Structure 1
Amino acid sequence: MLLSELMKDWPCTVLQGSIRQTINGITESSTTVQKGYVFVARKGRVQDGMQFIEEALEKGANTIVTDRVHIDLSCIPEEITVLVIPDSSLFISYASAMMSGNPAEELTIIAVTGTNGKTTVSHFIGQMLRAAGKSVAVIGTTGIFVDGKFLASTEDSMTTMPAEKLHPLLRDCVDRHVTHVVLEASSLGLYANRLAHCPITIGILLNIGIDHYEEHGGKQQYINAKKQLFSLAKKMIVNEDDLLCYEISKEMNVPPMYFGSDHVNGEQGELVIHVPGKHNNLNARAACCALLLLDYPFCEIQKYVSALRLPTGRMEKYSQDGIDVYVDYAHTPDALQVVLEALREEGKNVWSVFGCGGDRDHEKRPQMGAIAAHYSSYVILTSDNPRSEEPAQIILDILSGTTGFATPIDVIINRRYAIRYAIRKAQYGDIVLVAGKGHEQTQHIGEKILPFCDMEEVKRAFLDRNHLDEKS
């Protein structure tokens, strides 16, 4: 594409160079620059793209775009085009869509946002649409799936892909004759304008918890990020049971469709849902609303919902020696509570193994400690992606919420040993919940990202248990 064609409908100031040149791609990451690329020097939350202009030029960038007025041109060769635009994150979204031929306009796109449940609802919708004979892609935390088959992981397990990656993927979906795309819309993705030029047919608001308050700078900023989906989607679906979601839904220009624990768009009819937990019953109802808005009759939807299955790492069950183990992604207070409530309904002893992520919301730690102590028979606190923080300090933060509970609590910082300890101690008929990582395949400790899978560790723990039993 000619740079002039890309910029004809976008305000810009040319500081040097020419816009009459061919460009081959656009990126905000200097590591992915190729010859003829536009490099967008955007200031991120951690790093400033201005620091990587030299690297981008060395790799072949022929255009630099920034939203900073004051830029030192002395280090940029005269033949390199330099443009100043009003908003670099919006420009990346616009340019990525343009250079891919605006593929979102050829697809039916459903975007799911909420603190908890995005992955499950996305996969539920995908499963029902496939049952209805549609070709569907599901894009989110657990990866990219086309017609139920795993295609690839998302970069850094990002919930919502950067626009420069998303639009080429949507073009690939069109080329594969996919008709429907279901994607997870994170608050950070919405705030960063990753979906700004991705026309959304249906948006779904599941719930609003506290998990990302710190990252956004406060509760209201987090809510405002979620609310951006209102302006992007033609139609909205809202969880009526979540009071905050219900309140902000009144601000929508078009009245949304509501769902709740006892209804789907006001329909009180019984749905046969074979997935564990009241929260997953609610997730299934959210998915049903999406099909209703796509003009599927309720009686037809009932046929599809009975075959729903949970995605990997969402109450994923493994049973051996009379012990049921569940691996779940629950890493927020709300998510941990609903999972433990579901498991307690079985009337058995519940062992909870969990931790909290480092460099993330600190307020949730004591809350999760209190929830685990209240709903569990035994609690084992351990590490869960401590990142740059000291694991012991994170655990102390969690422990501060357990004061006053009589629940036995052990601390085993090494997650592998914590899982093995729980399975070794559990008795016939007990339940073990390993929470926080779910589908994740790594553990982030300090600057190291190490291979780690909770379910694989569970299976190894049973091998060790049986080996010890044989010896004794």
Structure 2
Amino acid sequence: MNGTITIQETRFLRGPNLYASTPCVMALLEIDMEPARAVEAACLVQRTVRELQEMAGVPAPYGCVKRLMDDARSFRVVCGFEVEEVAERALLLAVDFVEAQMRGSLFSVADRLVELHAAAVRQVSASASILMDEAKRRDIPVLELDDHVIQFGWGAQQTRISSSATHGALPEGDGRIPVIAITGTNGKTTTTLLVAHTVRLAGHTTGYTTTEGVFIDGCPVARGDCTGYWSARDILTAPNVEFAVLETARGGILKRGLAYDKCDVSVVLNVSADHLGLEGVETVEDLARVKGVVGCSAGKAAVLNAEDRHCVAMAAQLQPGVEVIYFSMDAENPVLLRHLEQGGRAVYLHDQSMVIADGQRHEELLRVEHMPVTMNGRARYNVANCLAATAALMAAGIARTDIAHGLTSFVSDGRSNPLRGNVFDVRGVTVIVDYAHNAAAYAALAGMARAMTRGKLVGIVTAPGDRRDSDLEEIGATCAERFDDIVVYESQSRGRTMGGTVEIIVRGAHAAPRLLARVHEEWVDIDAIRRGLDLCEPGDVLVFACGTSLATLVEALRVPDPIAAARIEAEIG
């Protein structure tokens, strides 16, 4: 043991996060000391970072230390901050100071304390500083932008000044626009699109983020997986946005925290095993805590799944005065019934109708078959997404007639919602393409696909290689019990040797308690699609899951069926 403390990674969590509702810096430290001494050093670093910030005149009210489960020498050290540069300098100084202390060496902090004090001095004019203090008093969001500009408020309600300005004005009221934030293990993108589509039809200029990009009023501003901090910030800083709908994924929460201090309505769709063993999220309970960051950011209402115990548990963690609105596919769900008895609001499914209830009145809004995204009710997971979207829209004050109009006009196809239950015809075989990549999603997708055929159901299945062995085995077992044939392929190895993911999924399939499927292996996605189609007859259904692009299906068909390839390519644009 050489007594060194190494900063492996530093993250500035600029909004509500896994550790606190206010900004924090999280440092991953590797401490090369005996276990007891390593714990002592980690705790001392945390206390020193906070004390140094306070010595510089910047409050740092929160701190914690968490040891990594699989490494006795690695720790996550978390400290609150107000000024990022001060926190960064304090962390570096604290590590050097504690390392010297643990070695019994002398260490002078005087010169670096001067630098710390200088970093704490606000680099804004007196007028701007007064406005910033007043904005915080009035609960107006304050964003310091990169070009020495300070933004007060969000979207269309914002005002901006230069940091050196001598005059300026704050927005009326609190300067906020309505924000709906949506999270969960499965269904986030479709629910976000349902909500955004309906809000747009109701007459609002809508900014929204999804795994497909950043969009303002239906037009793409950026493409890619845009479910994190910076994408949400792009929406909140856009001057023409009147209403924000933000898909918020696990990764963005862990890497940067939320881009907003609070939203009007939070939506937590479900919590099930996915991404476990990554970023310190080892269990479903850990994952629920991450998703709960979004749930607990609600300022007005939280929409929660009454059938998911992790979602139900979040109700007790909400801020005082925040309304709980449950949604449920089961009209007899005990949580739902108890909530309605107490006068709460909810949206639930009854006899294939969506019902809005407030404890006193139960009103049918729509029949399931009138919502195209549900595929006549066969896509039950999308029925659930529609329930959640309705609850969120209702909480945000959107009229019921507008909600009905939005749900009945939203179409989920390869152009508007790629890789989300997109359906194509290939020589009489119904081909469904979906991004399912965990056991819960595969089970839901197979249930929908089975309802679409009296013939055979063939699955082209895989998962990212960074999932735990047990999760990959569960995917194999889930698929083997629900498909007639499965073709297992390699998608994103992510640290595994080529073919390693296939091997584990196949092992799980063969160990399934109720093995139904014949199991085939094809390492390459295009070959797997062709193999799957060869197993099908007209009238059968083929599910291609966990693909990264619809172009993969087109390429797989280009040689054996160029007409179908050209048609699908035209459909998806």
Q: Hey, what does 1:364 align to over in structure 2?
A: 471
More off after superposition, 349-358 vs 249-258: 249-258
Residues 97 and 198 in structure 1, CA contact (< 8 A), matched pair in contact too: no
The match for 1:98 is 144
CA–CA distance in structure 2, aligned partners of residues 196 and 303 of structure 1: 30
Offset, 1:306: 0.4
* Native 8 Å contact 1:14 1:81 kept in 2: no
Question: Which of 440, 449, 457 is 1:350 aligned to?
Answer: 457
Q: Between Structure 1 and Structure 2, how many residues are aligned?
A: 398
1:39-82 CA distance string (max 9 Å, x none)? xxxxx9xx99xxxxxxxxxxxx99954535425599xx989955
Q: Which residue of 2 aligns with 1:376?
A: 483
Please list, as runs of the form range in 1=range in 2, the aligned pairs for 1:64-79 lying within 5 A after superposition: 65=89, 67-71=91-95
Does the aligned pair in 1 maintain the 2:526–2:555 contact within 8 Å? Answer: no
Residue 241, structure 1, aligned to residue 286, structure 2: no
Matched, 1:232 2:297: yes
Deviation at 1:273, TM superposition (A): 1.1
- Verify the 8 A CA contact 1:423 1:462 in the aligned structure 2: no
Divergent runs of 4+, >6 A: 9-12, 14-19, 77-80
**In structure 1, how many angstroms separate the alpha carbons of the residues matched to 2:316 and 2:381?**
24
- Measured in 1, the distance between the counterparts of 2:252 and 2:141 equals 17
Quick one: which amino acid aligns to residue 314 of structure 2?
Answer: I
* Counterpart in the other structure of 2:397: 295
| Aligned partner of 1:435 among 538, 545, 554 | 545
Shift of 1:466: 3.2
Task: Look up the SS of the partner of 1:306 in the other structure.
Answer: helix
Alignment deviations for residues 249-304 of structure 1 (CA, whole Å, 9 cap, x no partner): 24434341111221554345134211130110110111111211122232432122
Name the stretch that deviates more: 204-213 or 241-250.
241-250
The offset of 1:102, in angstroms, is: 4.7
State the SS of the aligned residue for 2:229: coil
Alpha-carbon distance between aligned partners in 1 of 2:296 and 2:478, rounded to the nearest angstrom: 36
Q: Secondary structure at the match of 1:303?
A: helix
> Which among 525, 529, 544 is matched to residue 419 of structure 1?
529
> By how many angstroms is 1:400 displaced?
2.4
Query: Is residue 140–residue 160 contact of structure 1 (8 Å, CA) maintained in 2?
Result: no
Query: Quick check: 1:103–1:170 contact (8 Å CA) kept in 2?
Result: no
Indicate the structure whose relative CO is greater, using CA pairs within 8 Å and at least 6 residues apart. 1
Taking structure 1 as reference, are residues 72 and 314 closer, same or farther at Cα in structure 2, changes over 3 Å only? Answer: same
Match of 2:241 among 164, 178, 183: 178
- In the alignment, the residues of structure 1 paired with residue 87 and residue 182 of structure 2 have an alpha-carbon distance, to the nearest angstrom, of 35
Distance 1:366 1:467, change over 3 A: same
Which structure has the larger Rg over C-alpha atoms?
Answer: 2
Structure 1 equivalent of residue 287 of structure 2: 222
**Given the alignment of the two structures, is residue 463 of structure 1 paired with residue 558 of structure 2, yes or no?**
yes
**Residue ranges of structure 2 left out of the alignment (5+ in a row):** 1-22, 25-49, 59-67, 69-73, 76-84, 98-107, 121-139, 155-174, 330-348, 565-573
Aligned-residue identity in percent: 19
Question: Structure 1: which 5+ runs fail to align?
Answer: 1-8, 20-43, 49-60, 86-93, 441-452
Amino acid of the structure 2 residue aligned with 1:340: A
1:407 to 489, 504, 517: 517
Distance 1:14 1:246, change over 3 A: closer
Any conservation in 1 of the 2:210–2:246 contact (CA below 8 Å)?
A: yes
Mapped partners of 1:251, 1:14: distance in 2: 30
Say whether 1:280 aligns with 2:386: no
Partner amino acid, structure 1, of 2:324: P
Answering whether residue 328 of structure 2 is matched by residue 260 of structure 1, we say yes
1:213 aligned counterpart, secondary structure: coil
SS of match in other structure, 2:500: helix
Letter in 2 for 1:227: G
Contact 2:229 2:259 in 1 (8 A): no
Q: Given residue 521 of structure 2, which amino acid in structure 1 is its aligned partner? A: V
Q: TM-score, normalised by structure 1?
A: 0.74
CA contact (8 A) 1:124 1:287 kept: yes
**Which range moved further: 418-427 or 263-272?**
263-272
